[in-house]
Amino acid sequence: MAKNLVIVESPAKAKTIEGYLGKDFVVKSSYGHVRDLASKGLAIDIANNFQPEYEVSADKKNVISELKKLVKEAETVWLATDEDREGEAISWHLYETLKLGKKDTKRITFNEITKSAIQRAIQNPREINKELVDAQQARRVLDRLVGFELSPVLWKKVKPSLSAGRVQSVAVRLIVEREKEILAFEPGNYFRLVGDFIAHGQKIKAVLAHNLDDRKQALQFLNECNAVDFEVLEVNKKPAEKHPSAPFTTSTLQQEASLKLGFSVSRTMSVAQKLYEAGHITYMRTDSVNFSDTAMEGAKNAIVANYGANYSNPKRYKNKNTGAQEAHEAIRPTDFLRSSVNAGPDEERLYDLIWKRSIASQMAAAKLERTTIKIGSSQLSDHFAAKGEIIKFDGFLKVYLASNIDDEDDDQELDGLLPDVQQGDALSVEEIIATERFTKAPPRYVEASLVKKLEELGIGRPSTYAPTISTIQKRGYVEKKEREGEERSYEVFTLNNESITEGKSTEITGRDRNKLSPTDIGIVVTDFLVEHFGRILDYNFTAKVEDEFDEIAQGLKEWTAMIKNFYDPFHQNVEETLEHSDRASGERHLGEDPKSGKKVIVRIGRYGPMAQIGDSEEEEKPQFASLLPNQTLNTITLEDALDLFKLPRNLGEYEGKVVKANVGRFGPYIQHDGKFVSLKEDDPMEVNLSRAIELIEQKKEEDAKKMIKVFEEDETVQILNGRWGPYLKIGKNNFKLPKDIEPEKLTLEECKEIANNQPKKSTARRKKK
C-alpha cells in the first residue's frame, strides 16, 4: 500500500493529481464536505458560546469508512482541498472526523493543478489554518441562526413553507427595489437630430450636440436649418489610447461569460470548475487580479511568439477591493502557450475567453486617433458633431475587447475614418431627421449585473455569488420572466430637398429576455423584512458582516464574539416581531364587483397570489381565484381580476367527457376525464377546444412513452421511464431497478422481489417534506 494518502474534494481533481505523483501516493476524493451542522434542530448550542453540533452527512458515511481504512495504512495524510475558506473547512472536518494526528498530517494548497505546482506544494506543507476555518464556521453558523429564526416568522406572518437567508434576502431586496423604480418610472420624450451632410462628394453623419425638448422645438430647429448654409466649424484630431482590462476575477468572469457566451452564473462556475480540475486554469473562486512572476513571464513569451515584442507590455494590476480574500491569483490559463483545449464545447468556449482576457491584460495599449468635426452655422444656436476613431496600432485589440454590462445606450454612434475636411469648408445637406426618443427606466438586473452590484456593495464573496443567485430563484422569490413588450408610436420629422415632412413610426418597448424580476411573494416577503428587520436587510450592515468574516480569517477577531454581537439584538428583534407585527399579504384593493357590490382585492394566499371577491367577515363566504402566471399583485386591473372568476371554462366535450380550462395552485391547466394537462404557453381564458384536444393527445403520447410495462393482474405495479432511466413503481412507492436488467422482461414476481429487497422511497412522503 502507498505510504502517502492525498485527500481532495472532487474525483476529477483526484484523477488529475494522481497523474503527477509517483507510486508512493494514492489520491482519494471526499466528494465535497463530509460534515455539516446536524440537519435536525438548530444544531448550535447558543448557551455554550454558540458551539456547533456537526454530523457526518448520510451520503458520506461510506466515504468516511473507506478513508479511515486508508488512513490506517498510510504513513502520511496530505489534505489537499481548495485554498479558500471552504477548502480549509473541508480539510479541518476531515482532520476531526478521521481523527488524524498533527504529526502524520500535512496541509497543502495550490492555485493550479499542474505537476510543478503539486510538487512545490508537497515540498512546502503547512498546518490547517484555524482562522480560515473559523471564518467559514462563522458564516455557516450565522446563516443557520438567521434561517432558523427568521423562517418561522415568515410562516406565521406571511405564508407557510417560506424561508429567509441573510445574503439571499438582501439580493432579493435589490431586485425588488429595482422593480419598484421601473413601475414608478414615467418616461419623458425628447427629439434627437441626425444630419447627413456632403463634403467633397463624401457623406458625413453628424448628431446635434443637444437633444430638443419637444416637437415644437424640433420643427422650429429644422425650419432654421432649412434657411442656413452649413460649414465645417472646427476639426479636432487628437491621439488616444485604449487600455486592456485586468485579468478575470470570479465576478468579472461571470459577467463577461454572461455577455459574450450567454452563460448563467452557475453554468460559468460549473464549467470553470471542470477546467480547473482538468489542470487548464487556476482556481476559479478569487477576487484577485494579480499574476505570479511565472505567469507574467509565460504570458510575455506567448505574446512575443504569437504577435511580436511590440505587443508585449507586462503589467501588474491592483485590486480595487481592499477586502480581497487571501493571496490568490487571478483566473488565468496554467499554460499560456496553449491557446485552446480539447474538451466539451462549453469548456472550450470559456477557456478561449479566459486565455484571451489573460493574454490581452499583458499586451500593449491600442493607439487611436479620434476626430471630431463640428458642423453648423453662425445663424444656429447649436451645432452638429461627427465623431470618428481610427486604430493606428491595434495592441491588445488584436486579441480581445471587454464588454460593458452597463452599456445600454443605443444612441451613441462612432464612425471609423471621417472624410478629410478643413475648417470653413462648405457643406450641403442631404437630409436632417428629428426622431422622437424616450427616456428609459433603469434596466432590470441580469444575473451578471446583479453579481456586479453585490460586489460593489461588498455583499458576498467569490464563493457565494453563484449559490446566492441560484437560491433566490429556487425559492420562488425571483424569476426570469420573458416580456414581449408593447407597441409604441413615435414621431419622425425629415428635412429633405428644402421641405419638411412629418411622419409616424412604431417600435416595441419593454421587451425583456432573461432579466430577473421579483415574484409577488418575493415583494411581500421583502417589504415585511425591510419593515421589521431593517438592520439585517441593510446593505451597509450586510457588507460590514462580510468585513468581519475577513477579520476573523486574518486572526483579528474571535468568531464566537462576532456571532454573539450579531445574535443578541437579532433574537430580540425576532421575539418582538412574532408578538407585535401584523400579517403581511400584499393586499391591494381593486374596486367593487359590479354584480354583487362586494369589494375585490388581490393578495398572497396559502397557495400563492390570488384574487378575492367579498370579505371573510361577511355572512356569505368569499370567492377565490388564483392569478395567472403573467399577472402580478401590483399591476393586475379590476377587469382582469373579475375575468379570473369566469374560470373554469367549459370548452366542450371530447370522447364523451367534458373538457375544462382552469387555473390552480400549480398554474393553468386543461382537465379531461380526471386527468390534468399543464398549459405552458396557452392562456386558459383564450384556449379553445381544438387546441385543448391537441394538448390532451400530446400528454397521452408522452404518458405512453413513459410506460414500459404494466401488469394486468395488478395494475398498481408499473415499470416506468424516468428522468434517470427505468424504475419500478408500486402504488406510491418507487424502487430502483438493478443494473444489467431488461425492464420489459421482468415478471410480477420479480418486481415484488426487487421491492422487498430495498428500502421504499415514497413520493407522498417526499412531497410532504
Reported in sequence order, the residue ranges of 200-264 that DSSP labels E, i.e. its strands, are 202-208, 230-242
189 in Cβ contact with 437 (< 8 Å):
yes
Helix (H, G, I), strand (E, B) or coil at 96: helix
Core vs surface per residue 319-343: b (16+ CB within 10 A) or e: eeeeebbbebbbbbbbbbeeeebeb
d(CA 524, CA 162): 11
Residue 475 DSSP code? T
Angstrom CA distances, 689 to 222, 654, 664, 685, 700, stand at 57, 8, 19, 12, 16
Core vs surface per residue 592-609: b (16+ CB within 10 A) or e: ebeeeebbbbbbbbeebb
Extract the C-alpha cell encoding 718.
408499473
The 3-state secondary structure of 598-659 reads CEEEEEEECCEEEEEECCCCCCCCCEEEECCCCCCCCCCCHHHHHHHCCCCEEEEEECCEEE
99 in Cβ contact with 72 (< 8 Å):
no
Residue 126 DSSP code? B
**Partner residues linked to 719 by β-bridges:** 709, 728
Distance of CA 607 to the CA centre of its chain: 26
Phi, psi of 537 (to 5 degrees): -90, 0
Which residues make Cβ contacts (< 8 Å) with residue 480, sequence separation at least 6? 473, 514, 515, 516, 517
Which helix (H) or strand (E) segment holds residue 143: the answer is helix 130-157
Query: In this structure, are strands 623-626 and 44-45 parallel, antiparallel, or unpaired?
Result: unpaired
First to last CA, the chain: 45
Closest C-alpha to 642, from 611, 617, 665, 680: 611
609 in Cβ contact with 590 (< 8 Å):
no
Q: Which of 20, 190, 276, 283 is catalytic?
A: 283
Closest C-alpha to 167, from 385, 404, 466: 466
d(CA 528, CA 525): 5
Helix (H, G, I), strand (E, B) or coil at 500: strand
Angstrom CA distances, 234 to 64, 66, 192, 385, 425, stand at 77, 80, 22, 10, 10
d(CA 64, CA 378): 85
Closest C-alpha to 495, from 428, 439, 421: 428
Does the annotation mark 283 as catalytic? yes
d(CA 584, CA 532): 11
Give catalytic residue positions.
Answer: 283
